[in-house]
Amino acid sequence: MRHFLRDDDITPAEQTAILDLADAFRNDRFHRRPLDGPRSVAVLFDKPSTRTRVSFAVGIAELGGNAVVLDAGATQRGRGEPVADTARVLDRMTDAIVWRTFAQSDLDDMAAVASVPVVNALSDDFHPCQLLADLQVVRQHKGRLAGLTLAYVGDGANNMAHSHLLAGATAGLNVRIGCPESLSPRADVVAAAERIADATDGSVLVTDDIAKAVSGADVVATDTWVSMGQEVERRGESEGRAGRRARQDSDEQSERIQTLRPYAITKETMRLAASDAIVLHDLPAYRGYEIDADVLDGTQSVIWDEAENRLHAQKALLTWLLAEGERG
C-alpha cells in the first residue's frame, strides 16, 4: 500500500507522472473518475483549513466519490481515541484517508495500520500536497522544472521549507532556503534533500543571506510567518490560562516578525531575482508582513493559479495512489 506522508515518498519519475496527470485534470476536470460508485474518502481536520478543505471535497466529488469531512472536535479522536483505532475503523469504510494534523508521527501511526492510502494534508513537519500544486504551477509558467532555481525565504524551520527542500530536490530544482540562522531547516531534512539532489542534478543551499538566496532565482516563494493552529490549541483552556497564553503568543509573534522582517518579499527583494521570476505563496497571506501587497497582487504573482492547482494536483495524487493500490 502506497501512502503520501512526505514529499520524498515518491520517486522523481512518480512525481512527474502525478504532475502530468494533474495537468490532464486541469485541461479536463472530469476525464478520470476512479471514485465512481461513489467510493468514499475520509478527510480529517485537526487544524483550520480553506483551500485544503475545499479542494479535497470538490476534487473527490469530481472523481465520482463522496468526501466524508470530519473535524477533530466532532469525532472520537477529539476525546482521545488512539490513532490506530480510528485508522482501523476508517479503512473498513473508506477508500483513502486524508488528514491535516499536528504531529508527523501520528500520520506515520495511521499509515502503519491503515489498509487504504493515507495522505498528509499538512503536518507540523511537511506539506507535500501543497508542493505538488507548487511544482505544477512552476511547470505551467516556466515549461519545465529541472535546472530552475527556487528561492524560499522566511521561516526555514517550518513545514513549507521542509517540503520545498524535498519536493524541489526530487524535481531537480536548485533549492535555496533564505532564513535566519535561528529558524533553519531540520538537519535531517537538509541531508535527505542533498541526497536526492545528488541523483537529480539539483542542488540545495541554506543561507541567512537573502541576497544570496534570491539572486537570479526563477521562482521566489514564502509562507505565512504566523503559525497555524495556535488558536485551536488554546480551545478548552481556562479563561485565565488562555489569556496568559494569548499574551505569550503575542510576544512570541512580535519577536518572530522582527526576526523575519529582513526576509520579506518586497519589490526590492524581487529586483534580486531573474527579471521573469514568478512569486509563490501558499496562503493565507498577510500583506505587509511576509509579502508586500504590490508583489502579491502584481504581475509576477502566480498565487491564484497555485491555489487552483491544489484541486488538480490532489485529484491526480488520489487517482495515482488508488491505481497503485489496485496494482498491489
**Which residue ranges make up the annotated binding site?**
49-52, 76, 100, 127-130, 159, 223, 227-228, 310
- Would you state the cell numbers that stand for residue 19, as one nine-digit string? 504532475
CA distance 292 to 315: 32
Distance separating alpha carbons of residues 57 and 29, to the nearest angstrom: 14
SS3 per-residue string spanning 76-106: HHHHCCCHHHHHHHHHHHCCEEEEECCCHHH
In 3D, which of 30, 71, 5 has the Cα closest to residue 319?
30
- 197 is written with which cell numbers? 539532489
SS3 209: coil
Known binding-site residues for carbamoyl phosphate equal: 49-52, 76, 100, 127-130, 310
Chain length of the chain: 328
Known binding-site residue numbers for L-ornithine? 159, 223, 227-228
| SS3 label, residue 139 | helix
